[in-house]
């Protein structure tokens, strides 16, 4: 069970955590800040200009179980895979003619006019065909028609797919023949349960009790060398998640609005209280103050006038902020007092640093940023309401944090964004572009492409890597044969990976054998594919690109060697998982 996602919490009796948070917030007037910020520390004070060794990792989670069967699709009428697709998908199938179309009105795509196509031509030919099924797809593939922006990224070499990925234990091979007789320990527990599979995808340890997410483990291991600042490497734009649960580096939670709430009563960005709002407080009372910081205790320790030669203005706001920050900086004999103040100090440090990072891309008009155009380009007026949906705003905040990296000290950052609504049991295809699965595809594809354009604009595409995950795939066969039909919980599905280091325009892993009631349909006749690539195998190259050593990867993904020996080029090529250029 994920201890961060309890369904019910008894708040009838106060506890120590509630007391600390509520009382500190009340005394300092920072409820909105501490609610999301005081749980950790995010980023430090100064980093070298330019990209340098900076890398950002973004987990894009399709919450609810994305129907990947309708994201990466066999195209053309001649292949066996296409025949299996048309027959097995039934009412959920997308006709081959739909892959070539002319968008009109609000459905228009930025920079494209006339007919467009979501067909793709993988450069690695049929190397991804399921073992034993030579020429199964005839290398004739397409993405969902509304994933056209992703299809263009694929064709441009900026995006790749890893086919039929899923949770596996790895102690024994799972086949259709032995699925029902294998011991429970040889299969991931609660295979078709949302909550269990979300945790397993985000930890990659289905056979162990959950303690940390694999992203959290990465943050713990890399923080000493890549996060020398005050705060955590991990940032979530979608609330609490298992992926970023860590031992020492708990995630910092932001909203998709891209705003930071400072302490109230001190003017916008503390202009009424501070002489230089660009400086941040250092509560450790250092002997010499680091660049970009000020020490609230400097004048007090010297016995001088507490407002002379300090960063505080000689105003009522300056007096109040000085008093609050000096209390925060003082040492306390009581651990209770220390913990009490930590909520406020962490909140103050965090909102200042993050506020500075976001300020780098703040626009001249309230509520805008210099990166807005890349997102409004891909979300024309009249398509969605609001015009730019939440998933795009989440990625916009990620883009702004990366653009503002010069105000931060971490050379590694791990982001988590999430698009919900994928539990499409009913009315999966609703005949329009904003609802059902096609609406989700439309949102995701446009947001991903807008983020890519934003990274290109600031020269950071080579320094980011974004990958997808989801609870599970969905059943290949529909649960009804009319317009109300949907799909149910499946198993192995297709993930995508994008970034400058990705060897794009390829499909990696192995495309599933789409034979219903046979082949790799694990049981029954619904088309629940047994994965041919474990999540461990998908994540390990990503962790290596991010800077983890082989020894660290063994700690992050202890089951990895159950599936393959190592991450050498020869091994990755033999598994068709050589999807990252580590150079």
Instruction: Give the tens place of pLDDT for each residue, 284-295.
Output: 888 888 888 899
Return left, alpha or beta for 125; rule: phi > 0 is left, psi -120 to 50 is alpha, else beta.
left
pLDDT of 280 reads 83
pLDDT surpasses 50 at 226: yes
- Cβ atoms of 63 and 419 within 8 Å: the answer is yes
- Higher-pLDDT residue of 568 and 36 is 568
Mean pLDDT of 452-459: 98
pLDDT of 35 reads 30
- Nearest in space to 559 (alpha carbons), one of 85, 188, 28: 188
Enumerate helices (H) and strands (E) in the chain, giving the number of each: 15, 16
Q: What is the pLDDT confidence band of residue 32, given thresholds at 50, 70 and 90?
A: very low
Q: What is the dihedral of CA 386, 390, 391, 397, to 10 degrees?
A: 120
- Cβ atoms of 219 and 4 within 8 Å: the answer is no
Q: What is the pLDDT confidence band of residue 66, given thresholds at 50, 70 and 90?
A: very high
Can you spell out the DSSP letters for 278-323? T-EE-TT--SSPPTTEE-TTHHHHHTS-TTTTSSB-SSHHHHHHHH
How far from 246 is each of 216, 219, 350, CA to CA, in Å? Answer: 4, 7, 18
- Nearest in space to 440 (alpha carbons), one of 481, 474, 491: 474
Residue 391 is inside which H or E element, if any? helix 390-403
Residues 6+ apart with CB under 8 A from 367: none
Report how far residue 54's alpha carbon sits from residue 227's, in angstroms, rounded to the nearest whole number.
11
- Cβ atoms of 578 and 508 within 8 Å: the answer is yes
- Higher-pLDDT residue of 190 and 2 is 190
What Rg, from alpha-carbon coordinates, does the chain have? 25
**Mean pLDDT, the chain, whole residue set:** 88
Q: What is the pLDDT confidence band of residue 39, given thresholds at 50, 70 and 90?
A: very low
Share of the chain above pLDDT 90, in %: 70
pLDDT of 338 reads 66
pLDDT of 24 reads 36
Listed by start position, the domains of the chain span 55-257+368-574
Can you spell out the DSSP letters for 513-579? ---TTSTTB-STTS--BPPSEEHHHHHHHHHHHHT--HHHHHHH-TTGGGT-S---HHHHHHTT---
pLDDT of 269 reads 75
Task: For 394-419, write each residue's pLDDT tens digit.
Answer: 999 999 999 999 888 889 999 999 99
Report how far residue 155's alpha carbon sits from residue 162's, in angstroms, rounded to the nearest whole number.
15
Mean pLDDT of 368-374: 95
pLDDT surpasses 80 at 170: yes
Say whether 5 sits in a helix, a strand or coil. helix
- Higher-pLDDT residue of 277 and 490 is 490
Lowest mean pLDDT among 163-167, 318-322, 342-346, 383-387: 342-346
Task: For 192-206, write each residue's pLDDT tens digit.
Answer: 999 999 999 999 999
Q: What is the pLDDT confidence band of residue 344, given thresholds at 50, 70 and 90?
A: low
- Residues β-bridged to residue 60: 417, 468
**Residue 51, exposed/middle/buried by CB under 10 A (0-12, 13-18, 19+)?**
middle
pLDDT of 231 reads 63
Report how far residue 511's alpha carbon sits from residue 422's, in angstroms, rounded to the nearest whole number.
21
Mean pLDDT of 158-186: 98
Q: What is the pLDDT confidence band of residue 107, given thresholds at 50, 70 and 90?
A: very high
- Higher-pLDDT residue of 259 and 456 is 456
pLDDT of 17 reads 38
| Length reported for the chain | 583
Say whether 336 sits in a helix, a strand or coil. helix
Q: What is the pLDDT confidence band of residue 342, given thresholds at 50, 70 and 90?
A: low
Q: What is the pLDDT confidence band of residue 479, given thresholds at 50, 70 and 90?
A: very high
Mean pLDDT of 208-223: 97
Mean pLDDT of 230-248: 90
DSSP state, 117?
E
pLDDT surpasses 80 at 515: yes
- Nearest in space to 353 (alpha carbons), one of 186, 235, 472, 495: 235
Return left, alpha or beta for 116; rule: phi > 0 is left, psi -120 to 50 is alpha, else beta.
beta
Mean pLDDT of 220-234: 83
Mean pLDDT of 451-465: 98
pLDDT surpasses 80 at 103: yes
pTM: 0.86
pLDDT surpasses 60 at 31: no
Joined together, the tokens standing for residue 269 give 């960005």
Q: Which residue in the block uniquely carries the two structure tokens 């016995």?
A: 303
């Amino acid at each position: 069970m994920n201890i961060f996602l309890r369904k019910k919490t008894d708040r009838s009796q106060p506890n120590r955590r509630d007391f600390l948070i509520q009382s500190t917030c009340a005394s300092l007037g920072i409820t909105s800040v501490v609610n999301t910020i005081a749980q950790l520390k995010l980023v430090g004070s100064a980093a070298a200009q330019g990209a340098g060794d900076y890398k950002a990792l973004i987990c894009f989670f399709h919450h609810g179980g994305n129907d990947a069967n309708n994201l990466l699709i066999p195209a053309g009428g001649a292949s066996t895979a296409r025949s299996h697709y048309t027959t097995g998908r039934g009412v959920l199938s997308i006709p081959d003619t739909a892959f070539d179309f002319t968008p009109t009105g609000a459905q228009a795509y930025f920079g494209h006019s006339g007919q467009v196509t979501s067909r793709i031509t993988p450069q690695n030919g049929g190397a991804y065909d399921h073992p034993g099924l030579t020429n199964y797809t005839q290398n004739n593939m397409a993405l969902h028609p509304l994933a056209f922006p992703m299809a263009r990224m694929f064709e441009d070499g900026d995006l790749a797919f890893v086919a039929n990925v899923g949770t596996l234990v790895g102690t024994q091979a799972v086949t259709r023949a032995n699925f029902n007789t294998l011991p429970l320990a040889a299969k991931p527990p609660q295979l078709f349960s949302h909550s269990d599979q979300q945790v397993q995808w985000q930890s990659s340890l289905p056979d162990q009790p959950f303690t940390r997410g694999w992203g959290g483990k990465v943050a713990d291991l890399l923080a000493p060398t890549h996060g020398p600042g005050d705060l955590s490497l991990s940032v979530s734009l979608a609330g609490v998640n298992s992926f970023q649960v860590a031992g020492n580096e708990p995630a910092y939670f932001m909203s998709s609005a891209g705003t930071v709430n400072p302490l109230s009563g001190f003017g916008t960005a503390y202009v009424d209280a501070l002489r230089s709002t660009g400086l941040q407080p250092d509560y450790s009372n250092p002997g010499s103050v680091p660049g970009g910081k000020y020490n609230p205790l400097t004048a007090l320790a010297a016995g001088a006038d507490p407002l002379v030669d300090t960063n505080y203005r000689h105003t009522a706001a300056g007096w109040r902020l000085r008093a609050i920050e000096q209390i925060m900086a003082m040492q306390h004999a009581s651990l209770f007092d220390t913990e009490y103040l930590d909520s406020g100090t962490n909140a103050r440090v965090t909102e200042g640093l993050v506020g500075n990072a976001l300020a780098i891309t703040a626009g001249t008009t309230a509520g805008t940023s210099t990166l807005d155009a890349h997102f409004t380009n891909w979300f024309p007026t009249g398509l969605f309401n609001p015009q730019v949906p939440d998933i795009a705003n989440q990625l916009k905040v990620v883009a702004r944090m990366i653009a503002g990296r010069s105000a931060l000290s971490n050379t590694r950052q791990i982001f988590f964004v999430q698009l919900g609504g994928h539990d499409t049991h009913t009315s999966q295809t609703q005949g329009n572009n904003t609802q059902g699965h096609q609406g989700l595809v439309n949102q995701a594809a446009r947001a991903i492409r807008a983020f890519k354009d934003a990274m290109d604009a600031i020269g950071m595409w080579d320094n980011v890597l974004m990958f997808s995950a989801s609870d599970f795939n969905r059943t290949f066969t529909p649960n009804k044969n009319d317009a109300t039909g949907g799909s149910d919980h499946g198993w192995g599905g297709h993930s995508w990976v994008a970034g400058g280091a990705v060897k794009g325009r390829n499909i990696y892993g192995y495309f599933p054998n789409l034979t219903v009631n046979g082949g790799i349909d694990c049981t029954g006749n619904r088309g629940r594919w047994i994965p041919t690539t474990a999540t461990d195998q998908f994540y390990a190259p990503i962790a290596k690109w991010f800077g983890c050593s082989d020894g660290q990867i063994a700690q992050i993904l202890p089951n990895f060697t159950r599936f393959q020996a190592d991450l050498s080029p020869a091994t990755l090529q033999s598994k068709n998982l050589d999807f990252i250029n580590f150079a």
